[in-house]
Amino acid sequence: MNLPRIHLITLGVKDMAVSRAYYEAMGWETAPISMDEITFFQSAGQVLGLYLQDALNGDTGLDAPRPGGMTLAVNTHGREEVDALFAKALEAGATLLKAPHEMPWGGYTGYVADPDGHPWEFTYVAQLVPDKSGALTLPDKL
């Protein structure tokens, strides 16, 4: 039985160049699959992401802009696992933010807020599936 994991921590940012430069100065290395609107950094079995705040707000369904917004994500092995986690969270007292749905880029993802409003994403992305140990490692390309 693997320990529970948070696979991706996403920080909402205003200016990608500024924020990417800051994290690179702190020792994080921008992964090759990064794009203009999103930066990925590989950590040990986990990924730290920088994502434009407006886009993050759009994804989570949180209508008010939240400066310094942050989301935590669990990556799964399939759509059924996303649906199951989503149902479990609602049953446990989470609030619906966005029901699981297909994303334009190919993922299947949903968001809930925990009892204090922290947004959690449950997601299936074929190129970003954890290994047997539960670790998430970024591919060289998407």
Tokens 């204090």 sit at which residue? Answer: 116
Nearest residue (CB) to a second copy, 71 versus 109: 71
Q: Which range of residues in 31-39, 76-84, 86-94, 98-106 is near a second copy by CB under 8 A?
A: 86-94
3-state DSSP assignment of residue 74: strand
Of 8, 73, 94, 128, which one interacts with a second copy (CB under 8 A)? Answer: 94
Establish if 80 lies at the interface with a second copy (CB under 8 A): no
Q: What does the per-residue mask of binding to a second copy show for 40-69, with x meaning CB under 8 A?
A: -xxxxxx-x----x-------------xx-
Separation in Å, CA 42 to CA 1, 54, 67: 24, 23, 24
Establish if 4 lies at the interface with a second copy (CB under 8 A): yes
List residues bridging with 95 in a β-sheet: 113
Separation in Å, CA 65 to CA 45, 53, 111: 30, 8, 16
Establish if 26 lies at the interface with a second copy (CB under 8 A): yes
